[in-house]
A = this chain, B = another copy of it.
Amino acid sequence: MNVTIKDIARHAGVSTATVSNVLTQKKYVSSDLEQRVFQAINELGYRPNVYARNLKTNRSHIIGVHVPDITNPFFSEGVKALQSVAAGESYQIVLYDSDNNLESEVKNIAGMISTQVDGIIAVAPRMQVDELLAMVEVPLVIVDRPPLPTQRNVAYVYADNYRGAASVADFLVGKGYRRFYCLAGPTELVCNAEARLTGFTETLRLHGIPDTACHVSYGDFTFDSGYELMKAILETYDPAGSPAAAFVSSDIMAWGAMEALKEKKFKIPRDMGVVGYDNIYFSSFLYPKLTTVENPIREMAVNAANLMLDALERRRNLLGLSVALRSALIVRKSC
Contacts and interface: CB of A to CB of B under 8 A. Distances in A.
Interface of A: 47-52, 54-55, 58, 60-62, 69-71, 73, 76-77, 79-80, 83-84, 87, 90, 92-97, 99, 107-108, 111, 113-116, 223, 255-256, 259, 262, 281-282, 285, 287
A118 to B, nearest CB: 11
Nearest to A285: B259
Copies per assembly: 2
A285 B285 CA distance: 12
Report, nearest first, the 7 A-B pairs whose CB atoms are least far apart.
Answer: A51-B54, A287-B287, A51-B55, A95-B95, A71-B76, A76-B76, A94-B94
A87 B49 CA distance: 25
Chain A at the B interface: SS class: helix
A282 to B, nearest CB: 8
Given A92-B111, A93-B95, A94-B92, A116 B50 contact: yes
B83 A76 contact: no
Nearest to A87: B111
Contacts of A73: 71, 73
A83 B95 contact: yes
A68 to B, nearest CB: 11
B285 A61 contact: no
A60 B51 contact: yes
